[in-house]
Structure 1
Protein backbone atom coordinates (compact mmCIF):
# COMPACT_ATOMS: atom_id res chain seq x y z
CA UNK A 1 0.00 0.00 0.00
CA UNK A 2 2.84 2.39 0.87
CA UNK A 3 4.53 1.63 -2.46
CA UNK A 4 1.27 2.28 -4.36
CA UNK A 5 0.69 5.59 -2.55
CA UNK A 6 4.29 6.63 -3.19
CA UNK A 7 3.91 5.81 -6.90
CA UNK A 8 0.71 7.87 -7.10
CA UNK A 9 2.45 10.85 -5.51
CA UNK A 10 5.37 10.46 -7.92
CA UNK A 11 2.99 10.27 -10.93
CA UNK A 12 1.07 13.36 -9.74
CA UNK A 13 4.34 15.29 -9.34
CA UNK A 14 5.37 14.39 -12.89
CA UNK A 15 1.98 15.48 -14.22
CA UNK A 16 2.13 18.83 -12.41
CA UNK A 17 5.67 19.40 -13.62
CA UNK A 18 4.61 18.68 -17.22
CA UNK A 19 1.72 21.12 -16.95
CA UNK A 20 4.03 23.75 -15.50
CA UNK A 21 6.60 23.29 -18.29
CA UNK A 22 3.85 23.40 -20.93
CA UNK A 23 2.43 26.64 -19.51
CA UNK A 24 5.90 28.18 -19.33
CA UNK A 25 6.65 27.16 -22.92
CA UNK A 26 3.49 28.80 -24.26
CA UNK A 27 4.84 32.21 -25.29
CA UNK A 28 2.75 35.01 -26.80
CA UNK A 29 3.11 33.73 -30.38
CA UNK A 30 2.00 30.26 -29.27
CA UNK A 31 -1.02 31.79 -27.54
CA UNK A 32 -1.92 33.77 -30.67
CA UNK A 33 -1.59 30.66 -32.83
CA UNK A 34 -3.64 28.61 -30.37
CA UNK A 35 -6.40 31.24 -30.30
CA UNK A 36 -6.19 31.72 -34.07
CA UNK A 37 -6.37 35.45 -33.44
CA UNK A 38 -3.98 38.40 -33.05
CA UNK A 39 -5.58 41.09 -30.87
CA UNK A 40 -4.36 44.63 -31.58
CA UNK A 41 -5.02 47.71 -29.45
CA UNK A 42 -5.34 50.97 -31.38
CA UNK A 43 -7.16 54.29 -31.60
CA UNK A 44 -9.41 54.79 -34.63
CA UNK A 45 -8.98 58.57 -34.72
CA UNK A 46 -5.63 58.48 -36.49
CA UNK A 47 -6.17 58.73 -40.24
CA UNK A 48 -4.84 57.47 -42.56
CA UNK A 49 -3.64 54.61 -40.35
CA UNK A 50 -6.83 53.91 -38.41
CA UNK A 51 -10.18 55.67 -38.72
CA UNK A 52 -13.89 54.97 -38.98
CA UNK A 53 -15.68 55.29 -42.29
CA UNK A 54 -19.46 54.82 -42.14
CA UNK A 55 -18.96 53.19 -38.76
CA UNK A 56 -16.41 50.68 -40.06
CA UNK A 57 -12.65 50.55 -39.60
CA UNK A 58 -10.61 51.75 -42.56
CA UNK A 59 -7.01 52.69 -43.21
CA UNK A 60 -3.45 51.50 -43.61
CA UNK A 61 -3.41 49.40 -40.43
CA UNK A 62 -6.44 47.35 -41.36
CA UNK A 63 -4.97 46.44 -44.74
CA UNK A 64 -1.42 45.81 -43.51
CA UNK A 65 -2.46 43.69 -40.55
CA UNK A 66 -4.68 41.66 -42.89
CA UNK A 67 -1.52 40.77 -44.83
CA UNK A 68 0.38 40.05 -41.60
CA UNK A 69 -2.48 37.80 -40.48
CA UNK A 70 -2.25 35.82 -43.73
CA UNK A 71 1.47 35.27 -43.19
CA UNK A 72 0.98 34.19 -39.56
CA UNK A 73 -2.08 32.10 -40.34
CA UNK A 74 -4.36 33.94 -37.89
CA UNK A 75 -7.21 36.43 -37.92
CA UNK A 76 -6.68 39.97 -36.64
CA UNK A 77 -9.06 41.68 -34.22
CA UNK A 78 -8.71 45.38 -33.40
CA UNK A 79 -9.77 47.06 -30.16
CA UNK A 80 -10.65 50.76 -30.54
CA UNK A 81 -9.48 52.65 -27.43
CA UNK A 82 -8.66 56.22 -26.37
CA UNK A 83 -4.96 56.66 -27.12
CA UNK A 84 -3.87 57.41 -23.50
CA UNK A 85 -5.14 53.96 -22.49
CA UNK A 86 -3.53 51.96 -25.31
CA UNK A 87 0.01 51.52 -23.95
CA UNK A 88 -1.19 50.85 -20.37
CA UNK A 89 -3.55 48.25 -21.87
CA UNK A 90 -0.63 46.52 -23.58
CA UNK A 91 1.35 46.44 -20.33
CA UNK A 92 -1.68 44.98 -18.53
CA UNK A 93 -1.87 42.16 -21.10
CA UNK A 94 -5.29 43.15 -22.46
CA UNK A 95 -4.14 42.57 -26.06
CA UNK A 96 -1.14 41.21 -27.94
CA UNK A 97 0.33 44.33 -29.51
CA UNK A 98 -0.22 48.02 -30.28
CA UNK A 99 -1.15 49.07 -33.79
CA UNK A 100 -1.10 52.89 -33.37
CA UNK A 101 1.44 53.05 -34.99
CA UNK A 102 3.92 54.71 -32.63
CA UNK A 103 6.82 57.01 -33.30
CA UNK A 104 10.07 55.19 -32.50
CA UNK A 105 11.72 57.10 -29.62
CA UNK A 106 14.59 56.35 -27.24
CA UNK A 107 12.34 56.52 -24.18
CA UNK A 108 9.77 54.12 -25.60
CA UNK A 109 12.44 51.67 -26.77
CA UNK A 110 13.48 51.29 -23.14
CA UNK A 111 9.97 50.21 -22.21
CA UNK A 112 8.53 48.46 -25.30
CA UNK A 113 9.80 46.25 -28.11
CA UNK A 114 9.20 47.78 -31.55
CA UNK A 115 8.54 46.07 -34.83
CA UNK A 116 10.49 47.22 -37.88
CA UNK A 117 9.34 50.62 -39.23
CA UNK A 118 6.38 50.83 -41.60
CA UNK A 119 6.32 54.55 -42.52
CA UNK A 120 7.93 57.96 -42.07
CA UNK A 121 6.78 59.85 -38.95
CA UNK A 122 8.61 63.18 -39.21
CA UNK A 123 6.57 65.92 -37.52
CA UNK A 124 5.09 69.04 -39.11
CA UNK A 125 2.27 71.54 -38.53
CA UNK A 126 -1.21 71.69 -40.02
CA UNK A 127 -2.78 75.15 -40.38
CA UNK A 128 -5.98 76.62 -41.82
CA UNK A 129 -5.78 76.95 -45.58
CA UNK A 130 -6.69 80.66 -45.50
CA UNK A 131 -4.20 81.57 -42.75
CA UNK A 132 -1.63 83.74 -44.54
CA UNK A 133 0.11 84.73 -41.29
CA UNK A 134 1.72 81.30 -40.92
CA UNK A 135 4.37 80.86 -43.60
CA UNK A 136 6.82 78.68 -41.66
CA UNK A 137 6.80 76.67 -38.44
CA UNK A 138 8.44 79.40 -36.35
CA UNK A 139 5.47 81.71 -37.06
CA UNK A 140 3.49 79.91 -34.31
CA UNK A 141 5.58 81.75 -31.69
CA UNK A 142 3.30 83.39 -29.13
CA UNK A 143 0.14 81.76 -30.55
CA UNK A 144 -2.00 78.79 -29.43
CA UNK A 145 -1.39 75.41 -31.03
CA UNK A 146 -2.48 71.84 -30.38
CA UNK A 147 -1.31 68.23 -30.30
CA UNK A 148 -2.63 64.90 -29.09
CA UNK A 149 -2.04 64.02 -25.44
CA UNK A 150 0.48 61.28 -24.63
CA UNK A 151 2.11 61.28 -28.08
CA UNK A 152 5.66 61.58 -29.34
CA UNK A 153 4.41 64.40 -31.56
CA UNK A 154 3.54 66.39 -28.44
CA UNK A 155 7.00 65.71 -27.00
CA UNK A 156 8.70 66.88 -30.20
CA UNK A 157 6.48 69.96 -30.34
CA UNK A 158 7.42 70.93 -26.78
CA UNK A 159 11.11 70.55 -27.62
CA UNK A 160 10.72 72.64 -30.77
CA UNK A 161 8.75 75.54 -29.27
CA UNK A 162 11.32 75.82 -26.47
CA UNK A 163 13.68 77.12 -29.16
CA UNK A 164 11.32 79.93 -30.21
CA UNK A 165 11.67 83.50 -28.84
CA UNK A 166 8.06 83.53 -27.60
CA UNK A 167 6.75 80.11 -26.64
CA UNK A 168 3.24 79.35 -27.93
CA UNK A 169 0.49 77.96 -25.70
CA UNK A 170 0.02 74.23 -26.30
CA UNK A 171 -3.42 72.64 -25.90
CA UNK A 172 -3.42 68.88 -25.41
CA UNK A 173 -6.25 66.84 -26.95
CA UNK A 174 -7.55 63.35 -26.26
CA UNK A 175 -7.58 62.62 -29.99
CA UNK A 176 -6.48 64.35 -33.18
CA UNK A 177 -9.98 64.88 -34.55
CA UNK A 178 -10.76 67.19 -31.63
CA UNK A 179 -7.62 69.19 -32.41
CA UNK A 180 -8.53 69.42 -36.10
CA UNK A 181 -12.03 70.64 -35.19
CA UNK A 182 -10.61 73.40 -33.01
CA UNK A 183 -8.20 74.35 -35.77
CA UNK A 184 -10.99 74.58 -38.35
CA UNK A 185 -13.03 76.71 -35.90
CA UNK A 186 -10.11 79.11 -35.32
CA UNK A 187 -9.63 78.27 -31.64
CA UNK A 188 -5.99 77.33 -32.34
CA UNK A 189 -3.70 78.26 -35.23
CA UNK A 190 -1.99 74.90 -35.89
CA UNK A 191 -1.86 71.21 -34.96
CA UNK A 192 1.35 69.20 -34.68
CA UNK A 193 1.34 65.67 -36.05
CA UNK A 194 3.38 63.46 -38.33
CA UNK A 195 3.67 64.76 -41.87
CA UNK A 196 2.13 61.49 -43.05
CA UNK A 197 -1.04 62.13 -41.06
CA UNK A 198 -1.56 65.83 -41.70
CA UNK A 199 -0.82 65.49 -45.42
CA UNK A 200 -3.72 63.03 -45.57
CA UNK A 201 -5.99 65.39 -43.61
CA UNK A 202 -5.11 68.33 -45.88
CA UNK A 203 -5.72 66.20 -48.97
CA UNK A 204 -9.18 65.23 -47.71
CA UNK A 205 -10.12 68.84 -46.86
CA UNK A 206 -7.99 71.16 -49.02
CA UNK A 207 -10.45 74.03 -48.64
CA UNK A 208 -9.96 73.93 -44.85
CA UNK A 209 -6.40 72.79 -44.12
CA UNK A 210 -2.85 73.16 -45.44
CA UNK A 211 0.53 71.78 -44.34
CA UNK A 212 3.33 74.07 -43.20
CA UNK A 213 6.61 73.04 -44.82
CA UNK A 214 9.31 72.10 -44.19
CA UNK A 215 8.65 69.79 -41.20
CA UNK A 216 9.96 71.00 -37.84
CA UNK A 217 10.74 67.58 -36.37
CA UNK A 218 13.68 65.19 -36.52
CA UNK A 219 13.68 62.25 -38.95
CA UNK A 220 11.74 59.49 -37.22
CA UNK A 221 9.67 56.45 -38.17
CA UNK A 222 6.39 54.77 -37.31
CA UNK A 223 6.30 51.18 -36.05
CA UNK A 224 4.13 48.91 -33.90
CA UNK A 225 5.09 47.46 -30.53
CA UNK A 226 4.72 44.52 -28.17
CA UNK A 227 5.61 44.03 -24.51
CA UNK A 228 9.35 43.99 -23.86
CA UNK A 229 9.67 40.51 -22.39
CA UNK A 230 10.85 37.05 -23.39
CA UNK A 231 7.29 35.79 -23.97
CA UNK A 232 6.61 38.46 -26.60
CA UNK A 233 9.88 38.10 -28.53
CA UNK A 234 8.74 35.14 -30.69
CA UNK A 235 5.66 37.17 -31.72
CA UNK A 236 7.85 40.18 -32.54
CA UNK A 237 10.23 38.02 -34.59
CA UNK A 238 7.37 36.39 -36.50
CA UNK A 239 5.79 39.79 -37.19
CA UNK A 240 9.07 41.20 -38.50
CA UNK A 241 9.66 38.16 -40.71
CA UNK A 242 6.20 38.62 -42.22
CA UNK A 243 6.73 42.38 -42.61
CA UNK A 244 10.05 41.91 -44.42
CA UNK A 245 8.34 39.50 -46.83
CA UNK A 246 5.52 42.00 -47.43
CA UNK A 247 8.08 44.74 -48.02
CA UNK A 248 10.19 42.61 -50.39
CA UNK A 249 7.29 41.57 -52.62
CA UNK A 250 5.92 45.12 -52.95
CA UNK A 251 2.77 44.80 -50.85
CA UNK A 252 3.99 47.35 -48.29
CA UNK A 253 4.76 49.94 -50.98
CA UNK A 254 1.33 49.38 -52.53
CA UNK A 255 -0.41 50.03 -49.21
CA UNK A 256 1.76 53.07 -48.51
CA UNK A 257 0.82 54.56 -51.87
CA UNK A 258 -2.87 53.74 -51.34
CA UNK A 259 -3.19 55.25 -47.87
CA UNK A 260 -0.21 57.59 -47.39
CA UNK A 261 -0.16 59.06 -50.88
CA UNK A 262 3.30 57.78 -51.80
CA UNK A 263 5.51 54.76 -51.32
CA UNK A 264 8.46 55.38 -49.02
CA UNK A 265 11.67 53.63 -48.16
CA UNK A 266 11.77 52.34 -44.58
CA UNK A 267 14.72 50.61 -42.86
CA UNK A 268 14.92 46.82 -42.82
CA UNK A 269 16.72 47.02 -39.48
CA UNK A 270 15.71 49.21 -36.54
CA UNK A 271 17.46 52.61 -36.74
CA UNK A 272 18.70 54.42 -33.66
CA UNK A 273 16.03 57.02 -32.70
CA UNK A 274 16.93 60.69 -32.98
CA UNK A 275 15.16 61.64 -29.73
Structure 2
Protein backbone atom coordinates (compact mmCIF):
# COMPACT_ATOMS: atom_id res chain seq x y z
CA UNK A 1 0.00 0.00 0.00
CA UNK A 2 1.44 3.34 -1.05
CA UNK A 3 0.32 6.88 -0.52
CA UNK A 4 -2.11 8.24 -3.06
CA UNK A 5 -4.02 6.64 -5.90
CA UNK A 6 -1.24 4.29 -6.98
CA UNK A 7 -1.19 2.72 -3.54
CA UNK A 8 -4.93 2.28 -3.49
CA UNK A 9 -4.97 0.68 -6.92
CA UNK A 10 -2.22 -1.66 -5.75
CA UNK A 11 -4.30 -2.64 -2.77
CA UNK A 12 -7.29 -3.36 -4.98
CA UNK A 13 -5.12 -5.51 -7.23
CA UNK A 14 -3.70 -7.32 -4.25
CA UNK A 15 -7.18 -8.30 -3.06
CA UNK A 16 -7.53 -10.80 -5.90
CA UNK A 17 -4.61 -12.83 -4.62
CA UNK A 18 -5.29 -15.72 -2.27
CA UNK A 19 -3.86 -15.25 1.19
CA UNK A 20 -1.31 -17.79 2.39
CA UNK A 21 0.25 -18.04 5.83
CA UNK A 22 0.68 -20.60 8.57
CA UNK A 23 -2.97 -20.09 9.48
CA UNK A 24 -4.36 -19.43 5.99
CA UNK A 25 -5.19 -22.03 3.34
CA UNK A 26 -7.43 -22.27 0.30
CA UNK A 27 -11.14 -22.89 0.52
CA UNK A 28 -10.70 -26.42 -0.86
CA UNK A 29 -9.91 -27.83 2.59
CA UNK A 30 -11.73 -30.95 3.72
CA UNK A 31 -12.79 -29.22 6.95
CA UNK A 32 -16.40 -30.11 7.74
CA UNK A 33 -19.00 -27.36 7.84
CA UNK A 34 -22.64 -27.38 8.85
CA UNK A 35 -25.53 -25.45 7.40
CA UNK A 36 -27.41 -23.07 9.66
CA UNK A 37 -30.31 -25.53 9.72
CA UNK A 38 -28.26 -28.22 11.51
CA UNK A 39 -25.56 -26.76 13.77
CA UNK A 40 -26.25 -28.69 16.96
CA UNK A 41 -23.12 -30.83 16.60
CA UNK A 42 -21.00 -28.22 14.82
CA UNK A 43 -18.38 -27.95 17.57
CA UNK A 44 -17.91 -31.74 17.63
CA UNK A 45 -17.20 -31.79 13.89
CA UNK A 46 -14.83 -28.82 14.09
CA UNK A 47 -12.95 -30.45 16.95
CA UNK A 48 -12.76 -33.75 15.05
CA UNK A 49 -11.44 -32.02 11.91
CA UNK A 50 -9.05 -29.89 13.96
CA UNK A 51 -9.89 -26.86 11.79
CA UNK A 52 -12.33 -23.96 12.07
CA UNK A 53 -13.06 -22.35 8.71
CA UNK A 54 -13.55 -18.56 8.93
CA UNK A 55 -15.22 -16.43 6.27
CA UNK A 56 -13.79 -12.91 5.98
CA UNK A 57 -13.33 -10.00 3.58
CA UNK A 58 -9.73 -8.85 3.88
CA UNK A 59 -10.13 -5.27 2.66
CA UNK A 60 -10.98 -3.68 6.01
CA UNK A 61 -7.79 -2.48 7.71
CA UNK A 62 -7.03 -2.59 10.58
CA UNK A 63 -9.44 -5.50 11.17
CA UNK A 64 -8.53 -7.68 8.17
CA UNK A 65 -6.26 -6.75 5.28
CA UNK A 66 -3.51 -8.06 3.05
CA UNK A 67 0.19 -7.40 3.54
CA UNK A 68 3.47 -9.07 2.60
CA UNK A 69 5.03 -11.24 5.31
CA UNK A 70 8.37 -12.87 4.47
CA UNK A 71 7.65 -12.33 0.79
CA UNK A 72 4.15 -13.89 0.94
CA UNK A 73 0.76 -12.22 0.57
CA UNK A 74 -0.85 -12.73 3.98
CA UNK A 75 -4.10 -11.79 5.68
CA UNK A 76 -3.45 -9.88 8.92
CA UNK A 77 -5.48 -7.60 11.19
CA UNK A 78 -7.15 -7.23 14.57
CA UNK A 79 -9.85 -9.78 13.73
CA UNK A 80 -7.18 -12.19 12.50
CA UNK A 81 -5.11 -11.85 15.68
CA UNK A 82 -8.30 -12.32 17.69
CA UNK A 83 -9.32 -15.46 15.80
CA UNK A 84 -5.80 -16.93 15.96
CA UNK A 85 -5.97 -16.51 19.74
CA UNK A 86 -9.42 -18.11 19.87
CA UNK A 87 -8.21 -21.00 17.71
CA UNK A 88 -5.32 -21.56 20.10
CA UNK A 89 -7.72 -21.50 23.05
CA UNK A 90 -10.01 -24.02 21.31
CA UNK A 91 -7.10 -26.21 20.18
CA UNK A 92 -7.91 -26.00 16.46
CA UNK A 93 -6.23 -24.55 13.38
CA UNK A 94 -7.83 -21.43 11.89
CA UNK A 95 -8.40 -21.39 8.13
CA UNK A 96 -9.39 -18.10 6.49
CA UNK A 97 -11.52 -17.91 3.34
CA UNK A 98 -11.30 -14.46 1.73
CA UNK A 99 -14.28 -13.14 -0.28
CA UNK A 100 -16.33 -10.00 -0.95
CA UNK A 101 -18.05 -8.77 2.20
CA UNK A 102 -21.55 -9.19 0.77
CA UNK A 103 -20.79 -12.92 0.27
CA UNK A 104 -19.48 -13.59 3.81
CA UNK A 105 -22.80 -14.17 5.57
CA UNK A 106 -24.25 -15.95 2.54
CA UNK A 107 -21.33 -18.41 2.66
CA UNK A 108 -21.97 -18.95 6.36
CA UNK A 109 -25.67 -19.61 5.77
CA UNK A 110 -24.80 -22.10 3.00
CA UNK A 111 -22.40 -23.99 5.27
CA UNK A 112 -19.29 -23.12 3.25
CA UNK A 113 -17.58 -21.71 6.35
CA UNK A 114 -18.02 -22.45 10.07
CA UNK A 115 -18.13 -18.85 11.31
CA UNK A 116 -17.85 -15.33 9.89
CA UNK A 117 -15.44 -12.71 11.25
CA UNK A 118 -15.16 -9.52 9.23
CA UNK A 119 -16.14 -6.45 11.26
CA UNK A 120 -19.71 -7.78 11.22
CA UNK A 121 -22.36 -5.86 13.14
CA UNK A 122 -24.85 -8.01 15.06
CA UNK A 123 -28.01 -6.22 13.89
CA UNK A 124 -31.50 -7.36 14.87
CA UNK A 125 -32.17 -8.29 11.25
CA UNK A 126 -29.08 -10.50 11.05
CA UNK A 127 -29.94 -12.14 14.38
CA UNK A 128 -33.03 -13.60 12.74
CA UNK A 129 -30.77 -15.77 10.58
CA UNK A 130 -27.56 -16.18 12.60
CA UNK A 131 -26.31 -16.60 16.14
CA UNK A 132 -23.69 -14.12 17.33
CA UNK A 133 -20.96 -14.04 19.94
CA UNK A 134 -20.76 -11.32 22.55
CA UNK A 135 -19.90 -7.91 21.07
CA UNK A 136 -16.14 -7.42 21.01
CA UNK A 137 -15.75 -3.91 19.52
CA UNK A 138 -18.08 -0.93 19.12
CA UNK A 139 -16.94 1.33 16.28
CA UNK A 140 -17.66 4.95 15.58
CA UNK A 141 -18.83 5.66 12.04
CA UNK A 142 -17.13 8.52 10.18
CA UNK A 143 -17.62 10.38 6.92
CA UNK A 144 -14.51 10.55 4.72
CA UNK A 145 -14.32 13.22 2.02
CA UNK A 146 -11.83 14.71 -0.40
CA UNK A 147 -9.73 17.15 1.63
CA UNK A 148 -10.49 19.93 -0.82
CA UNK A 149 -14.18 19.61 0.07
CA UNK A 150 -13.93 19.20 3.85
CA UNK A 151 -15.30 22.69 4.55
CA UNK A 152 -18.40 21.92 2.44
CA UNK A 153 -19.54 18.85 4.38
CA UNK A 154 -19.87 19.84 8.02
CA UNK A 155 -23.36 18.45 8.70
CA UNK A 156 -25.45 15.52 7.53
CA UNK A 157 -27.77 17.98 5.78
CA UNK A 158 -24.86 19.21 3.67
CA UNK A 159 -24.68 15.72 2.12
CA UNK A 160 -28.23 15.86 0.78
CA UNK A 161 -28.36 15.02 -2.93
CA UNK A 162 -24.67 14.03 -2.82
CA UNK A 163 -23.18 10.67 -3.83
CA UNK A 164 -22.24 8.85 -0.64
CA UNK A 165 -20.38 5.55 -0.82
CA UNK A 166 -20.53 2.51 1.45
CA UNK A 167 -19.39 -1.10 1.30
CA UNK A 168 -22.04 -3.37 -0.17
CA UNK A 169 -23.78 -5.51 2.43
CA UNK A 170 -22.21 -3.63 5.37
CA UNK A 171 -23.72 -1.80 8.32
CA UNK A 172 -22.37 1.40 6.74
CA UNK A 173 -24.68 0.83 3.77
CA UNK A 174 -27.64 0.74 6.18
CA UNK A 175 -26.37 3.84 7.97
CA UNK A 176 -26.29 5.83 4.72
CA UNK A 177 -29.84 4.73 3.92
CA UNK A 178 -31.12 5.51 7.43
CA UNK A 179 -29.19 8.64 8.40
CA UNK A 180 -28.60 10.17 4.96
CA UNK A 181 -31.90 9.39 3.23
CA UNK A 182 -31.63 12.37 0.88
CA UNK A 183 -28.23 11.34 -0.46
CA UNK A 184 -27.56 9.08 -3.43
CA UNK A 185 -26.02 5.86 -2.11
CA UNK A 186 -23.20 4.24 -4.08
CA UNK A 187 -22.52 0.66 -2.91
CA UNK A 188 -19.21 -0.99 -3.84
CA UNK A 189 -17.82 -4.41 -2.92
CA UNK A 190 -14.46 -3.25 -1.50
CA UNK A 191 -13.47 -0.36 0.78
CA UNK A 192 -10.34 0.45 -1.30
CA UNK A 193 -12.63 0.89 -4.32
CA UNK A 194 -14.61 3.48 -2.35
CA UNK A 195 -11.44 5.42 -1.64
CA UNK A 196 -10.39 5.34 -5.28
CA UNK A 197 -13.79 6.70 -6.31
CA UNK A 198 -13.58 9.38 -3.60
CA UNK A 199 -10.11 10.50 -4.68
CA UNK A 200 -11.35 10.72 -8.28
CA UNK A 201 -14.42 12.73 -7.18
CA UNK A 202 -16.72 10.05 -8.57
CA UNK A 203 -18.41 10.08 -5.16
CA UNK A 204 -18.62 12.98 -2.71
CA UNK A 205 -18.19 11.09 0.57
CA UNK A 206 -17.85 7.63 2.04
CA UNK A 207 -19.16 6.27 5.34
CA UNK A 208 -16.49 4.10 6.97
CA UNK A 209 -15.72 2.65 10.42
CA UNK A 210 -13.50 5.01 12.46
CA UNK A 211 -10.28 2.98 12.60
CA UNK A 212 -10.55 2.24 8.88
CA UNK A 213 -11.27 5.89 8.09
CA UNK A 214 -8.36 7.15 10.18
CA UNK A 215 -6.02 4.66 8.53
CA UNK A 216 -6.91 5.80 5.01
CA UNK A 217 -6.69 9.49 5.95
CA UNK A 218 -3.25 8.88 7.49
CA UNK A 219 -2.13 7.22 4.25
CA UNK A 220 -3.58 9.81 1.86
CA UNK A 221 -2.95 13.53 2.24
CA UNK A 222 -5.83 14.37 -0.08
CA UNK A 223 -8.48 12.71 2.14
CA UNK A 224 -10.02 14.05 5.35
CA UNK A 225 -12.64 13.18 7.97
CA UNK A 226 -15.68 15.46 7.74
CA UNK A 227 -17.29 17.12 10.76
CA UNK A 228 -20.67 15.60 9.82
CA UNK A 229 -21.59 13.40 12.80
CA UNK A 230 -23.31 10.04 12.47
CA UNK A 231 -25.11 8.28 15.30
CA UNK A 232 -23.70 5.03 16.71
CA UNK A 233 -26.20 2.36 17.77
CA UNK A 234 -25.69 -0.76 19.90
CA UNK A 235 -26.43 -2.85 16.82
CA UNK A 236 -23.31 -1.42 15.14
CA UNK A 237 -21.02 -3.37 17.48
CA UNK A 238 -18.89 -6.13 15.95
CA UNK A 239 -19.49 -9.78 16.81
CA UNK A 240 -18.65 -13.22 15.41
CA UNK A 241 -21.47 -14.74 13.33
CA UNK A 242 -22.36 -18.43 13.57
CA UNK A 243 -25.15 -20.65 12.22
CA UNK A 244 -28.38 -20.74 14.22
CA UNK A 245 -28.16 -23.33 16.96
CA UNK A 246 -24.37 -23.16 17.45
CA UNK A 247 -24.81 -23.15 21.25
CA UNK A 248 -21.75 -25.17 22.25
CA UNK A 249 -19.45 -23.41 19.78
CA UNK A 250 -20.78 -20.00 20.88
CA UNK A 251 -20.10 -20.81 24.53
CA UNK A 252 -16.48 -21.70 23.78
CA UNK A 253 -15.90 -18.65 21.57
CA UNK A 254 -17.53 -16.33 24.11
CA UNK A 255 -15.36 -17.70 26.91
CA UNK A 256 -12.21 -16.86 24.92
CA UNK A 257 -13.55 -13.49 23.77
CA UNK A 258 -14.58 -12.33 27.22
CA UNK A 259 -11.03 -12.83 28.50
CA UNK A 260 -9.58 -10.72 25.68
CA UNK A 261 -12.19 -7.99 26.16
CA UNK A 262 -11.63 -7.86 29.93
CA UNK A 263 -7.84 -7.56 29.76
CA UNK A 264 -7.81 -5.07 26.87
CA UNK A 265 -6.29 -7.47 24.33
CA UNK A 266 -8.86 -6.60 21.63
CA UNK A 267 -8.04 -2.89 21.86
CA UNK A 268 -4.33 -3.75 21.67
CA UNK A 269 -4.95 -5.76 18.49
CA UNK A 270 -6.79 -2.81 16.92
CA UNK A 271 -4.00 -0.35 17.77
CA UNK A 272 -1.25 -2.75 16.69
CA UNK A 273 -2.84 -3.32 13.29
CA UNK A 274 -3.71 0.35 12.78
CA UNK A 275 0.00 1.08 13.24
CA UNK A 276 0.90 -1.77 10.86
CA UNK A 277 -1.45 -0.52 8.13
CA UNK A 278 -0.06 3.00 8.43
CA UNK A 279 3.53 1.74 8.47
CA UNK A 280 2.92 -0.28 5.30
CA UNK A 281 1.48 2.79 3.61
CA UNK A 282 4.55 4.88 4.39
CA UNK A 283 7.01 2.35 2.93
Shift, 1:178, TM fit: 0.9
Partner of 1:203: 218
Are positions 1:148 and 2:167 aligned together? yes
Partner of 2:152: 133
Partner of 1:222: 238
Deviation per CA, 1:111-165, whole angstroms, max 9, x where unpaired?
A: 1111111212332211112223222333211211111111221111111122xxx
The structure 2 residue matched to 1:80, chosen from 94, 98, 102, is 98
**1:103 match: secondary structure:** coil
Shift, 1:173, TM fit: 0.6
Deviation per CA, 1:53-104, whole angstroms, max 9, x where unpaired?
A: 1322121111111111111111111000111211111011111100112112
Deviates more, 1:103-112 or 1:25-34: 25-34
Distance across 1 between alignment mates of 2:263 and 2:210: 26
CA RMSD of aligned residues (A): 1.9
Distance across 2 between alignment mates of 1:253 and 1:155: 25
**1:127 match: secondary structure:** strand
Partner of 1:247: 261
Distance across 2 between alignment mates of 1:149 and 1:218: 19
Residues 125, 137 of structure 1: 8 Å contact kept: no
Distance across 2 between alignment mates of 1:116 and 1:214: 30
TM-score, normalised via structure 1 length: 0.78
Distance across 2 between alignment mates of 1:58 and 1:169: 33
TM-score, normalised via structure 2 length: 0.76
Deviation per CA, 1:23-74, whole angstroms, max 9, x where unpaired?
A: x997111111111111100111111111111322121111111111111111
For structure 1, which runs of at least 5 residues remain unmatched after alignment?
1-23, 262-275
Question: CA, structure 1 residues 215+199, in 2 after alignment: closer, same or farther (shift >3 Å)?
Answer: farther
Are positions 1:102 and 2:120 aligned together? yes
Are positions 1:184 and 2:199 aligned together? yes
For structure 2, which runs of at least 5 residues remain unmatched after alignment?
1-37, 276-283
The structure 1 residue matched to 2:111, chosen from 86, 90, 93, is 93
**1:188 match: secondary structure:** coil
Aligned length: 231
| Structure number, greater radius of gyration | 1
Shift, 1:209, TM fit: 1.6
Distance across 1 between alignment mates of 2:231 and 2:192: 21
Distance across 1 between alignment mates of 2:184 and 2:51: 44
Runs of 4+ in 1 over 4 A off after TM superposition: none
Distance across 1 between alignment mates of 2:92 and 2:141: 34
